[in-house]
Every structure is written in structure tokens, then in C-alpha cells.
């Protein structure tokens, strides 16, 4: 069974052959979201907190386009190029999610597309 593609110009477009998000049954699966400004298609200068805020705003835009919100997040996966940023990410994360917090994994990776320092994907209830 294939889901329906979710697209919005309020979040960065795909940089490859994939959808921004897919809705299927009562779930929304987002693709990895980078700290890309949807208006410019580039990663703006800034620190990890600035980039995390942009990523979570982009995820919120995808959720809204599908008719849900970050409050419906079930599972979040965060990819960082440096786990030293973990405490700083937690501070930003807590501004977008509340208890009961979604299940979450955070992993360090060698590199991310567009030389980003953070990428986040989520599964949300519809």
C-alpha cells in the first residue's frame, strides 16, 4: 500500500528522488529535514541552535501540511555531525515537544547532505 505524498513550500523541497513526507493510514513519516531555509534553498549561517530551530520549524510546517502538529510526534530521530551538541539540541528540542515526549534516537554521523550539522526525521500521528 502506498501513501500520499505531503508537500509544502513552507519546508525545504526534496534534494533527491523522495517526498518531503508520506501519509499512510493514521501516520505521517517525514523525510530527513535539514536546516534549509525554504525561501532560499540554502542553509543560513548560524550556530547549532539556530539550525535546530529551523529544522523543527520545517518539521512543524510538514506536520501542518498533513493536518497534524508536532504535538502528535510519536518517534523522532536526530542525526548530528557532533554529539558534543547533544545538550544544546535538547534545549531547543524541549521548546518544540512536551511531555509525554516522543520516543527519540540521537546518533552521530560522519556527514550530512549540504554539509549540514543536523538532520531530523519524525513519525507523527494524523
User: Are 96 and 70 within 8 A, CB to CB?
Assistant: yes
C-alpha cell at 17: 528522488
Domains of the chain: 4-125 (3.30.1330.40)
pTM of the model: 0.95
Q: What is the pLDDT of residues 38-81, one digit of tens each?
A: 999 999 999 999 999 999 999 999 999 999 999 999 999 999 99
Closest CA to 33 of 4, 63, 2: 63
Amino acid at each position: 500500500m502506498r501513501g500520499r505524498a505531503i508537500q509544502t513550500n513552507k519546508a525545504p523541497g526534496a534534494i533527491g528522488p523522495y517526498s518531503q513526507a508520506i501519509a499512510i493510514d493514521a501516520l505521517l513519516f517525514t523525510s530527513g529535514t535539514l536546516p534549509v531555509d525554504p525561501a532560499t534553498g540554502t542553509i543560513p549561517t548560524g550556530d547549532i541552535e539556530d539550525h535546530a530551530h529551523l529544522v523543527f520549524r520545517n518539521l512543524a510546517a510538514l506536520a501542518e501540511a498533513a493536518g497534524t502538529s508536532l504535538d502528535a510526534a510519536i518517534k523522532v530521530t536526530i542525526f548530528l555531525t557532533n554529539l558534543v551538541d547533544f545538550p544544546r539540541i535538547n534545549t531547543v528540542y524541549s521548546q518544540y515537544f512536551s511531555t509525554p515526549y516522543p520516543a527519540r534516537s540521537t546518533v552521530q554521523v560522519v556527514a550530512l547532505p549540504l554539509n549540514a550539522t543536523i538532520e531530523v526525521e519524525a513519525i507523527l500521528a494524523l
